[in-house]
């Protein structure tokens, strides 16, 4: 699994012109763009969720768990792109929908199980993701 985690002051996802998910924290929250690979499983999703929940990247070195910051999770298979051989990305490292969708759900559910307020985009949909990155703080995590 590969995740891009951004500290945000707001974030939203639109599908077909309708807002399907939104976080508007009183302070800061996290936007997590999540890509799933072939070797990923529920244990990987749980471990990465715990890392995101406890990651100390909010003001005063606090984590989302410290302040109950909301988290918006958006599936993004393009994070697994391989561009080493040409200008056209290869998506072969990305898990197929039948594998990836349940693991994105497992990641979000693991965060909820830890106490997070989680919103999600729509898997496989063409989404417009809007965010206000705070800092900016953006990290790439791999599990």
- Give me the active site residues, please: 76-78
Distances (CA, A) of 100 to 127, 135, 140: 17, 31, 19
Backbone angles phi, psi at 139, to 5 degrees: -125, 150
Cβ(70)–Cβ(25) under 8 Å?
A: yes
CA distance 70 to 27: 10
């Amino acid at each position: 699994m590969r995740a891009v985690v951004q500290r945000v002051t707001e974030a939203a996802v639109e599908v077909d012109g309708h807002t399907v998910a939104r976080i508007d924290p009183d302070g800061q929250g996290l936007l997590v763009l999540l890509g799933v690979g072939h070797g990923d499983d529920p244990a990987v999703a749980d471990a990465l969720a715990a890392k995101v929940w406890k990651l100390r990247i909010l003001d005063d070195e606090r984590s989302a768990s410290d302040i109950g910051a909301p988290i918006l999770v958006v599936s993004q298979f393009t994070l697994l792109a391989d561009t080493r051989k040409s200008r056209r990305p290869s998506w072969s490292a990305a898990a197929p929908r039948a594998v990836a969708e349940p693991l994105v759900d497992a990641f979000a559910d693991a965060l909820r199980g830890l106490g997070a307020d989680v919103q999600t985009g729509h898997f496989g949909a063409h989404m417009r993701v809007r965010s206000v990155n705070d800092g900016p703080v953006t990290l790439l995590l791999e599990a």
